[in-house]
Amino acid sequence: MANFLEDKRPQKIERAFLVGVQTKDMALGEAEELLAELGELVENLKLTVVRSTLIVLRTPTPATLLGSGKVAELIELAKADDADVIVFDEALTPAQQRNWEKLSELAVIDRQEVILQVFADRAQTREAVLQVALARMQYSLPRLTRAWSHLSRQRGTGGGMGGEGETQLEQDRRLVNDRITALKRELITVRKQRATQRQRRQRVPVPTAAIVGYTNAGKSSLLNALTGATVLAEDKLFATLDPTTRQLNLRGNRKLLVTDTVGFIRRLPHGLVEAFKATLEEVVVADFLIHVLDVTNSNLAQHHETTLAVLKELGAVDKPIITVFNKLDAADPAALNRASLLVPDALYLSARSGKNLDQLIARCLEQIADAVDSVDLLIPHARYDVISKLHATGHVQHQEERDTGVFIQGRFPSTQARLFTPFIVK
């Protein structure tokens, strides 16, 4: 299909020529930052970046985005560098991709296709694999003529290939539409299974927190540091896509379920946001969020803005948020000053060394305290099953044996009200 790494042309895709586009509505320097990020994304696909060039675009051209003179110039540069693929940081329409490939005789892709491929390489669980497959099928559907042109060029264009191509294209469209329908159906089943798992957890209510943030900010490292988990944590974009939930045991027999979520990124294809809403459901249902930012990153403000924008799209931006600036051990005074201006009440820590991790744990305890009710209970001696559940689900601050029963003072999730309300001391 439109997957450039599975292109049917015989040459191997190894060398990438990157093209960034500075438009009039972009902040000064933003295009350069995005182009550098695109380079990192491409390198995660094991491609060698042979050149990166930035184009100032005043008025887009419908057929090729750029003017004909600039198109010719870039193609000449790409061929001089022996590039196999031209990668645009700007979204290309299917027609623009076809036109560029016809003119250059090279594979031509955009940022969306790169991200789709990175996601495909990283997905591990069945749900993530299905979500990526769905997003790629939806992206591929309007680009099938481009994929067919690759096949036609390899097999030769003589001898009435046009009619056969049309027939094949119609078949391809039906196959892709059928595949999209099947993927949606299978995703519904997987989401139901996840909902059942969540309901099982909620039978014994435990407060939940979701770790969110820009990709490569250190979310998985923070989950590992908090809970002793061993989630993959590598210094690369989208090291892991699958949500992982671990239990954090806190002071006073309190428990917190913490979930690591997929990292956000600027210009994330909308189809992927939609496809990953099931994965990001953990964000929507969490009691509060832990927003992790890499304090050493020069694009800190943009990363902060991007994450909040995605949270808004998910309907989760109004949840309580603990902002954490990670990688404190590598930060210089200028970076710390930028961070303090961005979010004055944030925490500063190092997930790697554990420095100031206790401050985050204390803030989590505050959030849990806000989410539960403090009550005095008198439980009959015959109802030790209730006492056991209260210990398992909440924070028992004081317990003593009395003639009339067991007196308990503590904080318990409001979702457990049916369990303890009959025993509240008036």
Query: Bridge-partner residues for 394, per DSSP?
Result: none
Distance of CA 203 to the CA centre of its chain: 28
Q: Best-predicted range by mean pLDDT among 64-73, 234-243, 277-286? A: 64-73
Is residue 336 within a helix (H) or strand (E), and if so which, with residue range? helix 333-342
Q: Please identify which residue in the block is written with the tokens 């308990």.
A: 408
The domain locations on the chain are 4-122, 125-139+156-203, 205-369, 372-423
Q: Indicate whether 49 pLDDT > 90.
A: yes
The percentage of the chain sitting over the pLDDT mark of 70, rounded to a whole number, equals 81
Q: Indicate whether 334 pLDDT > 60.
A: yes
Give the ranges where 106-208 is alpha helix by DSSP (H): 111-122, 126-140, 144-155, 161-203
Asked whether the domain spanning 205-369 has the same topology as the one spanning 4-122, the reply is: yes
Q: Indicate whether 10 pLDDT > 50.
A: no
Better-predicted residue by pLDDT, 165 or 17: 17
- Lowest pLDDT segment from 2-6, 350-354, 367-371: 2-6
Residue 276, pLDDT score: 63
Q: Indicate whether 19 pLDDT > 70.
A: yes
Question: Distance (Å, rounded) from C-alpha 245 to C-alpha 227?
Answer: 10
Distances (CA, A) of 408 to 107, 345, 377, 392, 394: 69, 35, 5, 14, 11
Distances (CA, A) of 191 to 28, 175, 177, 258, 337: 42, 24, 21, 19, 43
- Mean of pLDDT values over 253-273: 78
Residue 2, pLDDT score: 42
Tokens of 150: 């690759």
Q: How confident is the model at residue 398 (pLDDT cuts 50, 70, 90)?
A: confident
Question: Distance (Å, rounded) from C-alpha 244 to C-alpha 260?
Answer: 5
The DSSP result for 101-122, as a single string, is: HHHHSSEEEEHHHHHHHHHHHH
| Rg for the chain, CA atoms, rounded | 26
Q: How confident is the model at residue 335 (pLDDT cuts 50, 70, 90)?
A: very high
Q: Indicate whether 370 pLDDT > 80.
A: no
Query: Bridge-partner residues for 398, per DSSP?
Result: 409
Better-predicted residue by pLDDT, 213 or 254: 213
Residue 196, pLDDT score: 74
Contact of 361 with 250, CB cutoff 8 Å: yes
- Lowest pLDDT segment from 185-194, 204-213, 295-304: 204-213
Residue 146, pLDDT score: 66
Contact of 376 with 425, CB cutoff 8 Å: yes
Tokens of 336: 């710390």
Residue 65, pLDDT score: 95
3-state DSSP call for residue 289? Answer: strand
* Mean pLDDT taken over the chain: 82
pTM for this model (two decimals): 0.69
The DSSP result for 375-386, as a single string, is: EEEEE-TT-HHH
Q: How confident is the model at residue 200 (pLDDT cuts 50, 70, 90)?
A: low
- HSE-CB for 96 with a 13 A CA cutoff: 19
- Would you put residue 159 in left (φ > 0), alpha (ψ -120 to 50) or beta? left
- Lowest pLDDT segment from 5-19, 152-166, 243-257, 348-362: 152-166
pLDDT in tens, 87-139: 999 999 999 999 999 999 999 999 989 988 888 877 777 877 888 888 889 88
Domain 205-369: CATH superfamily is P-loop containing nucleotide triphosphate hydrolases (3.40.50.300)
Indicate the length of the chain as a whole number: 426
Q: Indicate whether 79 pLDDT > 80.
A: yes
DSSP conformation class of 74: H
Amino acid at site 401 = E
Domain 4-122 in CATH 3.40.50.11060? The answer is yes
Better-predicted residue by pLDDT, 268 or 141: 141
Contact of 246 with 257, CB cutoff 8 Å: yes
Question: Distance (Å, rounded) from C-alpha 212 to C-alpha 281?
Answer: 12
Q: Indicate whether 281 pLDDT > 80.
A: no
> Which residues in 267-296 are b (16+ Cβ under 10 Å) and which e?
bbbebbeebbebbbbbbeebbbbbbbbbbb
